A and B are shown apart, each in its own frame.
Chain A
Amino acid sequence: MADDTPPPVVRVHGLVSRFGAQLVHNGLDLEVRPNDVFGIVGGSGSGKSVLLRTILGLRRPQGGTIELYGRDILKLSRPERLDLVQSCAVTFQSGALISSLNIAQNIQLPLREYHPMREEALDELAQLNLRLVGLPPDAAAKYPAQLSGGMIKRAALARALSLEPKLLFLDEPTSGLDPISAAAFDELLLYLHAELRLTVVMITHDLDSLLRTCNRVGVIVEGRMITDTLAGIMQNSHPWIHDYFHGPRAHAAEKAAHG
């Protein structure tokens, strides 16, 4: 059976992250398989964002290995790294759109850099990516400061999708959205996951979103990660995980997801 499982897209082994005396990750292991929608859960300050930044290579860990598509990201040459960067994309919690560029220019920024083409074609692709994430065409000319929180999240996703990544990282994609927008974002994510065959790794605090979209979940507790399928993790007896999935807020979400 072990031979049938495809090689993991993301593989983190024995990750140690330390800030001064504070130990955030203590031998954390993580595996994301192709076509997963993998949810990362954990209490505030448990190091979810640090994990994401480490996987992306934005932060050097104090120990452990990180492999994307079987390649150790800490030992890549610059061309290899550029290659890898283009096949995975990320949206940050606050959108992180470049504030001096309008939305179309934000989407075109990586395209322009890696795939030189005519301006008209770039405009077409900006429109394509806006449509993919369900933004109106006239959003293209707007600046990030003119958009609402939900639109910024969508625009950030449009920018992330512009290089047609195979792997997508999302940092709290639904935080700060109203329930309707958050639900729409979940549907959008599922749609893109199905149509573009993306592997998605997302940090989320949003139980509804987690139950709706993720097939596997990793919970960071005490610096390590407990990974299971969504159904499996809900049966986990670890007190924190039990509280997380069976607290007063969780019941409503669960009912909504299955009811």
Chain B
Amino acid sequence: MNALTLQQDGEGWRLCLNGDWSLASIGKIDRELEALPGSMLGTLICDWSRAEQPGIAPVWLLLKRLSALGAGESPASRLRVHHEGVPPPTVGLLRKLASDRSAAQSAPPTTMPAIEVAIGDLGLWAVQEGTAARGVLAFFGRIAAVFGQIFSRPRALRLPSIARHIYEAGITAIPIVALIAFLISVVVAYLGAQQLRKFGADIFVVDLVTIGVLREMGVLLTAIIVAGRSGSAFAAEIGVMQLNDEVDALRAMGLNPVELLVVPRVLALVIALPLLTVIADAMGLAGGALLSLLELHIPPAQFTVRLHEALSPTTFWAGLVKAPVFGLLIGVVGAYRGMQVRESARELGRLTTVAVVQSIFQVILADALFAILFQKIDF
């Protein structure tokens, strides 16, 4: 059954509303309303007697459609509408709403030439980038200021907070860091063994694994895992605090959120990352030793001897010295992105993602710079 039937009635029109007129049939009602002819003139009688349970939304669409077809209250309008049958009380409500002009109509959207829009967007982008760059600089400045204060006011160094973050970012990361370092070095040793065996140079697998793990892989893997775990956690924690106005509350109490929230996290990573790296190095060497034993039948004693021959005194330090720098980068990026969160949950998700991606990128970039530097100074 149609929700609407339109009949010519003398010199006017008669619109019968049939069947279910509740919200549940709104899709159907809307389609039939759209199909009403635009050529109606004179008087239109709306017959409500067979409409069941008329809901506000369908009735609203009907009235809107009728007024789009030229219906009005005044005698001068093209189409004069009379409601017949038992008009539901909602019709009165809706007519009142529809005729209520006190609610200001929204201004029509102004259209601009495409070229102006493009130039405007470019300008906006440039300004935003500039502001963002200044924001990063200011953030570093605030962190540096807190570090400066530590000397005159030791309380600015929040030891309990630092300890908590070392526990969360460092100690709880030990199992995953150890496991991944172990597995990756097994993989590298296996690959190396396959290739070097062709030349009868099996023993150099030890060189490959030990130098690879100590110089690069141990610290890099650790940093990437920590960026994924703690960089995201920092951004999310601080971001939620921003959304709850907790950061503003700290400021209003005269406390420095950078001192309370950012510096302890950054310092915790600077401390925890080298320690995690040592564990990753040890597990990596263990993995290499295990594979050498199983695959190449190099006993651990021989592995150790070869290890000492392969390593220069600086190899271990060349890896470890990078760890605090990576920790600093991950901590600062994570906390900075967290502080940037404003307004919405979507923003929080976006900035958490940005924090992880950027901190991993910066770690790898820094690693490349270290490689060049160590090359130059022959470290």
Contacts and interface: CB of A to CB of B under 8 A. Distances in A.
* A and B physically associate: yes
B94 to A, nearest CB: 8
Top 9 nearest A-B pairs by Cβ distance? A99-B344, A145-B343, A100-B346, A138-B106, A121-B30, A128-B60, A117-B27, A195-B93, A131-B97
Contacts of B10: none
Interface residues of B, number: 30
A37 B63 CA distance: 30
B342 to A, nearest CB: 8
A118 B26 CA distance: 10
Contacts of B22: 164
Interface string B72-109: 00000000000000000110011001001001111100
A137 B64 contact: no
B23 A163 contact: yes
29 contacts: A99-B343, A99-B344, A99-B345, A99-B346, A100-B344, A111-B57, A115-B24, A121-B26, A124-B60, A125-B57, A125-B60, A128-B56, A128-B57, A128-B60, A128-B94, A131-B97, A131-B103, A134-B103, A136-B103, A137-B104, A137-B106, A138-B106, A141-B106, A143-B344, A144-B344, A162-B57, A164-B23, A164-B56, A195-B90
Nearest to B56: A164
Contacts of B100: 131
Interface residues of A, number: 27
A252 interface: no
Contacts of B105: 137
B57 A164 contact: yes
B24 to A, nearest CB: 7
B97 A100 contact: no
B245 to A, nearest CB: 12
A136 B104 contact: yes
Interface of A: 99-100, 111, 115-118, 121, 124-125, 128, 131-132, 134, 136-138, 140-141, 143-145, 162-164, 195-196
Contacts of B70: none
A111 B23 CA distance: 9
B319 to A, nearest CB: 43
Contacts of A195: 89-90, 93
B107 to A, nearest CB: 8
B61 interface: yes
Contacts of A128: 56-57, 60, 94, 97
Interface of B: 22-24, 26-27, 30-31, 34, 55-57, 60-61, 64, 89-90, 93-94, 97, 100, 103-107, 342-346
Nearest to A118: B30
A195 B89 CA distance: 7
Contacts of A163: 23
B325 to A, nearest CB: 36
A118 B33 CA distance: 12
B159 to A, nearest CB: 33
A162 B60 CA distance: 12
Given A138-B104, A164-B57, A196 B344 contact: no
B56 A196 contact: yes
B330 to A, nearest CB: 27
B27 to A, nearest CB: 5
A100 B89 CA distance: 36
B61 A124 contact: yes
A124 B26 CA distance: 12
Contact of A115 (B23, B342, B346): B23
Contacts of B64: 124
Contacts of A136: 103-104, 106
A125 B94 CA distance: 12
Contacts of A137: 103-106
Contacts of B24: 115
- Chain A CB count within 10 A is highest, among B30, B104, B105, for B30
A115 B345 contact: no
A164 B30 contact: no
Given A115-B24, A118-B30, A131-B103, 5 more contacts: A99-B343, A124-B64, A128-B56, A134-B103, A137-B104
A97 B349 CA distance: 17
A109 to B, nearest CB: 15
Nearest to A99: B344
A192 to B, nearest CB: 9
A151 to B, nearest CB: 13
Given A125-B60, A128-B56, A117 B106 contact: no
Contacts of B57: 111, 125, 128, 162, 164
A124 B346 CA distance: 27
Contact of A121 (B61, B97, B107): B61
B34 to A, nearest CB: 8
A144 B347 CA distance: 13
A115 B90 contact: no
Contacts of B31: 118
Nearest to A132: B97
Contact of A143 (B23, B60, B93, B343): B343
Given A115-B24, A136-B103, A100 B61 contact: no
A137 B109 CA distance: 13
Q: Considering residues A125, A132, A138, A196, which has the most beta carbons from chain B within 10 angstroms of its beta carbon?
A: A125
